[in-house]
Each structure stands twice: as structure tokens, then as C-alpha cells.
Amino acid sequence: MAKPEWGAKRTCQSCGTRFYDMLHSPIICPKCSATVEPEVTFKPRRSSAAAAAAEAKAAKSAAAAAARAAEELEPIEAEDSDEAEDDLIEDTSDLGEDDDDMAEVIDHMDEAMEDEV
């Protein structure tokens, strides 16, 4: 067992040498004299089996409640179906003008194709 006055055992990121930091700050590798950054270890959090089962049960009950709510809903009918249809009809006065524009685009594409060949 290491002595507490030696500090923590470190590994140099530059040369891979293992050494004790001797409680110095900054930590310097004795072999290559590189400054060593202390490693921060993160412990992954695992949920317990009981918590996972509780989450699954809650999701299942939420899905069942949503299914029951969907069955209870009645379809909504439009009160004035004529007004709803009028909103969908567009102004048809300018629909025929796009044919000329489309012909110009096709002509330009044909010219571009001829230039590539």
C-alpha cells in the first residue's frame, strides 16, 4: 500500500510513465517533465431495476389512458361546411399564366443540355 504523503498515482499523457504526484501542484512528470492534467473520473449512473420497472409501468399506463381517451372522443363536424370549402378555393384568375413561364424554363434546360454534349 502506498504512503499517503506520496499522493495519488498518475499516468503521464505524453510518455505513459506511472508516478506518484507527491501532492505537488502543478503535477510534473519526473521522466519527460510534461505537465500532467489530473484525470476526472465520471461514474456512469445506472438506474435500479425497480426504477426501470416503475418507468415501464408508467409508460404502459399512459399508453392505456391515451387509448381510452381516443375511444371517448367524438368526431367534430364543421358547422358551416360551405364556408370551409370556400376557404380552400384559390383565386383561379392567374392559374393559366404559368404555362409560358414553364416553356421558357424548358427551353433553357434544353439549351444547357446541348451545351454539355
Give a yes or no: residue 85 inside a domain: no
CB 23 within 8 A of CB 5: yes
Residue type, 18: R
Domain containing 18 equals 4-36
For residue 19, tell me if it sits in a domain. yes
Cα(37)–Cα(29) distance, integer angstroms: 10
Q: Is residue 81 part of a domain?
A: no
DSSP letter, residue 6: G
For residue 18, being part of any structural domain is answered with yes
Is the bond preceding residue 30 a cis peptide, omega within 30 degrees?
no
Give domain status of residue 20, yes or no. yes
21 in a structural domain:
yes
CB atoms within 10 A of CB 7: 16
Mean per-residue pLDDT, 48-70: 79
Q: How many domains does the chain have?
A: 1
> What pLDDT score does 47 carry?
63
Give the predicted TM-score (pTM) of the model.
Answer: 0.34
Read off the pLDDT band of 67 (50, 70, 90).
Answer: confident
